[in-house]
Structure 1
Amino acid sequence: MVIKVFVATVAGSTAIKKKQQEVLGFLEANRIDFEQRDIACNDDNRKWMRDNVPGEKKPENGIPLPPQIFNEEQYCGDFESFFDAKEGNEIYVFFGLAPPKSAKSIEISAEETEKPAENQEVITNAEEEKQVEAEEEAATAEEEGGEADEEQVEEEEGEEEGEEES
């Protein structure tokens, strides 16, 4: 599927030129395949564009101004529709394309699948170390002939429970 952008390479209006540049620049920057079709120098392109822009999208004078955007034969919209879709983060819907899977999202997915096991081991090892330390402290306190301070033991147990919850 190729996006077709109908433009006028010989446009008298700077506003039209800017709109065309914005659409084409966006497509290039996002590496979306497109064809630029000139309506100023090619009567067939002009006729095809005018015939395929839906009636409700044509201005009052009946002549749609460039840029007009199509996905193959399917009409996507004009610059205003493009701009609204871009601002609403719905640009791939506008073009009728599936959003690309970015390399970043693929990396994150791979990391997420690996991380829980690694993190679980780290958490488990940390919990085990704390538990061993608490048991050693209790044993040391008993060997010294006294009992461990009840408040200190309760505090340590409370800390362990709080860490397990997080």
Structure 2
Amino acid sequence: MILRIFVSLLFPIKKQQQDVLGFLEANKIEFEEKDIAANEENRKWMRENVPEDSRPASGNPLPPRLFNDSRYLGDYNAFFEARENNAVYAFLGLTAPPGSKVGEHLPTQS
């Protein structure tokens, strides 16, 4: 299982990217950072693997985009919502370490 975070230093959303990467680093969650600006293969793979219903109405999907292996997890907004709900590990498809402040389960919807 490989957690992949697609980023680009050329986009104005650098703060969102740093927010995701900083959280993962602070919580010692292993991941691969994939720069879509410096690597055409990364850009192509990300664009082809973001589901249709998660793409913008026009243009291409912008980073950060998160994947667990090839399973699409979401964008920054989905990550932020999971973090706010203490459900980041569930969002990432990972088991939370014992005593973690960030919960394992997504909240149930009523």
TM range (shorter): 0.7 to 0.9
How far apart, in 2, do the equivalents of 1:93 and 1:75 lie? 13
Map of 1:31 onto structure 2: 28
SS in 2 for 1:77: strand
Give the one of 91, 97, 101 matched to 1:100: 97
- Cα-to-partner distance string for 1:26-84 (whole Å, 9 max, x where unaligned): 00000000010000010000000000000000001141010000011111100000000
TM-score relative to the length of structure 1: 0.58
1:69 aligns with 2:66: yes
Is there any run of 5+ residues in structure 2 with no aligned partner, and where? 101-110
1:17-166 equivalence runs, <5 A:
17-102=14-99
Shift of 1:5: 0.3
SS in 1 for 2:32: strand
- Cα-to-partner distance string for 1:117-145 (whole Å, 9 max, x where unaligned): xxxxxxxxxxxxxxxxxxxxxxxxxxxxx
Structure with bigger RCO (C-alpha 8 Å, 6+ apart): 2
User: By percentage of residues, which structure has more strand?
Assistant: 2
Q: Give percent identity, aligned residues only.
A: 53
User: By percentage of residues, which structure has more helix?
Assistant: 1
Is there any run of 5+ residues in structure 1 with no aligned partner, and where? 104-166
Map of 2:107 onto structure 1: none
TM-score relative to the length of structure 2: 0.87
Backbone CA RMSD of aligned residues = 1.2
How far apart, in 2, do the equivalents of 1:45 and 1:20 lie? 16
Shift of 1:101: 1.6
How far apart, in 2, do the equivalents of 1:90 and 1:72 lie? 19
Number of residues of Structure 1 aligned to a counterpart in Structure 2:
100
How far apart, in 1, do the equivalents of 2:68 and 2:59 lie? 22
